[in-house]
Amino acid sequence: MKINVVKSVLEASDTMARENRDRLDKAGVTAINIMSAPGSGKTTLLQKTIPVVMRSGRCAVLVGDLQTTRDAERMADLGAPVVQINTGRGCHLSPAEVARGIDYLDLSAIDFLFIENVGNMICPVAFDLGEHLRVVLLSVPEGEDKVAKYPTLFQSADAILLTKMDLAAALNYDVSCIRDDLSRINTRAPLMEVSAQAGTGFQEWLTWLAGQRRV
Amino acid sequence: MKINVVKSVLEASDTMARENRDRLDKAGVTAINIMSAPGSGKTTLLQKTIPVVMRSGRCAVLVGDLQTTRDAERMADLGAPVVQINTGRGCHLSPAEVARGIDYLDLSAIDFLFIENVGNMICPVAFDLGEHLRVVLLSVPEGEDKVAKYPTLFQSADAILLTKMDLAAALNYDVSCIRDDLSRINTRAPLMEVSAQAGTGFQEWLTWLAGQRRV
C-alpha cells in the first residue's frame, strides 16, 4: 500500500532553501539574509555597503516588500543588480521567492548576495532562505527592550547592527541593556553601533563583511 | 452521506472574534485593537492614556508579546487591570487568546478595553479580534514610506497616530508624504501627530477616544 505524504510547509520550505544554498555554493556566492523591524535601516545599510563592496568585488540584492518598488529604486543606481520581490500579504520572504529572484541573476558574476527580508521581527526567523549568514538590525528609537522581546530573531543572528546611533543621546538610550540581554542569548554575533546620519561605525561592519567573502 | 467540513483557520477565527464582540457589546465595552511595528510607542501611548481615561471612566488592557511581561509591568501601576498574553512564536494576537484574556476581566466594570497587539505591521491585520476600532501607530524614525509599503494596515485603521514627532526636525521628516499616501487609501481615519517626549498632540487623541465611548 502506497502512503502519500504531504510534506509540511516548513519541511518543503527547508528543501527549497537547501537547493538555493547549493546553487549559491557552486557559484561561490556568500548570501546574507538581512532582517529587522520596518524602518530600522536595512535599505540605508545596503546603500552604504554596495558602493564599497563594488570597489573590490561584485554583489547583487534581492529585496522583499509587501508592495511598491521603493527600496529597489533607492538601490537602482549603485551599480549592482537589484531584484524587487513583492510578497503581497506575505509577512516574510520564502525560499521559493528567493529561487525565482536568483533566476534573474548571473551568480557567476557576484561574490555577495544580499537578501533584504520583509520588515518583520517574527515571521522571517522561521524561514531558511538558503542564506549563509544572518544579519539583524535594531534601531535605537525602537527601544532597549527588543532583544528580550524577540529573542529568536537575535539568537539566529551572525552579526547585529545597532542603527541610528545619532539619536541615542536625545533618547537617553542605554546600549548596555542591549549588551546585557545579548550576553544571555547570543555571544557569538558581534554588535556594531552605526549611524548613517553621522556616518559612523560602518568600517567595523565593512571589515566584518569582507571577512565573510569566499576565496 | 455526511460531509465533514474542516473550517479554515480564518473562518474559525472570525467566529471567535464575533463571540468576543458579542460579550463586549453586552457589557457596553468599546474595544480598541492597537497595532504598529515594534517600538512605535504603543505601550507609551497607553501609559499616557490610561490615567486620563481613569479620571472619568474605567479601562483594562490586554497586551500581546512573544516573550516577557515588560509591557504589562510598564502599565501595572496605572490603576487599570492589565493582562499580558505571551504568544511564544505567534506573530499576532488571536481571538482565542483575547477570549482567554477577557476571562480575567470584569467587563461590567470597564468602558474601554485596549488590546495592544504584537509589534508587527503585517500579520495582525488579517485577524479580527472582536474589537470595535483599530488604531495604528507609525513612528517618525520608521521613515516616510510606510503607508505605501503597508497599505492593508493603514486601510484598516480608524485612527492613525504619528508618534515621536519630536524627532521630525532632526530627521528632516516630511509629514506630507504620509498625508499624500493616506489620501489615496484611507481618508476616514484622522491622522494625529504626537510626541510623548515633548508631551504634544495627546489632547486630540484623548478627545477622539472620548468620542468613542458608549453611553
Give the CATH number for residue B73. 3.40.50.300
Grid cell, residue B92, equals 499576532
Tens of pLDDT along A52-111?
999 999 999 999 999 999 999 999 999 999 999 999 989 999 999 999 999 999 999 999
Cα A145 to the chain's mean position, in Å? 21
Angle formed at CA A66 by CA A60 and CA A68, multiple of 5 degrees = 70
Domain for residue B137, yes or no? yes
Taking contacts as CB-CB distances below 8 angstroms, the residues of chain B near A139 are 39, 141
Domain for residue A150, yes or no? yes
Give the pLDDT band (50/70/90) at residue B1: low
Query: Could you tell me which residues come within 8 angstroms of residue A105 by beta carbon, excluding any fewer than 6 positions away?
Result: A60, A81, A83, A113
Give the pLDDT band (50/70/90) at residue A19: very high
Domain for residue A125, yes or no? yes
Q: Where are the alpha helices (DSSP H) in chain B?
A: 9-26, 42-56, 70-75, 95-102, 146-149, 151-155, 175-185, 202-210
Q: Please give the average per-residue pLDDT across B125-136, as a whole number.
A: 97
Buried b (16+ CB within 10 A) or exposed e, A168-204: beebebeeeebeebbeeebeebebbbbbbbeeebbeb
CA distance A27 to chain B (A): 33
In terms of CA atoms, which chain B residue is nearest residue A143? B39
B184 touches chain A (CB under 8 A): no
For A81, A98, B42, B126, the CA distances from A42, given in Å and listed in that order, are 17, 17, 23, 25
ipTM of the complex: 0.86
Q: Which of B143, B152, B166 sits opposite A89 (nearest CB)?
A: B152
What is the C-alpha to C-alpha distance for residues A76 and A114, in angstroms, rounded to an integer? 14
What is the C-alpha to C-alpha distance for residues A17 and B121, in angstroms, rounded to an integer? 25
Tally Cβ neighbours within 10 Å of residue B172. 8
Domain for residue A202, yes or no? yes
Determine the straight-line distance between the first and last CA of chain A, rounded to whole angstroms. 50
Domain for residue B215, yes or no? no
Size of interface A-B (CB pairs under 8 A): 103
CA distance A179 to chain B (A): 17
A27 touches chain B (CB under 8 A): no
Q: Please give the average per-residue pLDDT across A150-160, as a whole number.
A: 97
A145 touches chain B (CB under 8 A): yes
* Contact state of B122 with A126 under an 8 Å Cβ cutoff: no
Domain span holding position A118 = 2-209
What average pLDDT does the structure give for chain B? 95
B37 touches chain A (CB under 8 A): yes
**H/E segment holding residue A206:** helix A202-210
A164 touches chain B (CB under 8 A): yes
Grid cell, residue A51, equals 558602493
- What pLDDT is recorded for position A12? 83
Taking contacts as CB-CB distances below 8 angstroms, the residues of chain B near A141 are 39, 139, 141, 164, 167
Whether the CB-CB separation of A41 and A137 falls below 8 Å is answered with yes
* Contact state of A123 with B121 under an 8 Å Cβ cutoff: no
Tens of pLDDT along B72-111?
999 999 999 999 999 998 999 999 999 999 999 999 999 9
Domain for residue A84, yes or no? yes
Tens of pLDDT along A99-151?
999 999 999 999 999 999 999 999 999 999 999 999 999 999 999 999 999 99
Domain for residue A37, yes or no? yes
Grid cell, residue B167, equals 524627532
Angle formed at CA B74 by CA B70 and CA B75, multiple of 5 degrees = 120
CA distance A141 to chain B (A): 7
Number of domains in chain B: 1
Domain for residue B214, yes or no? no
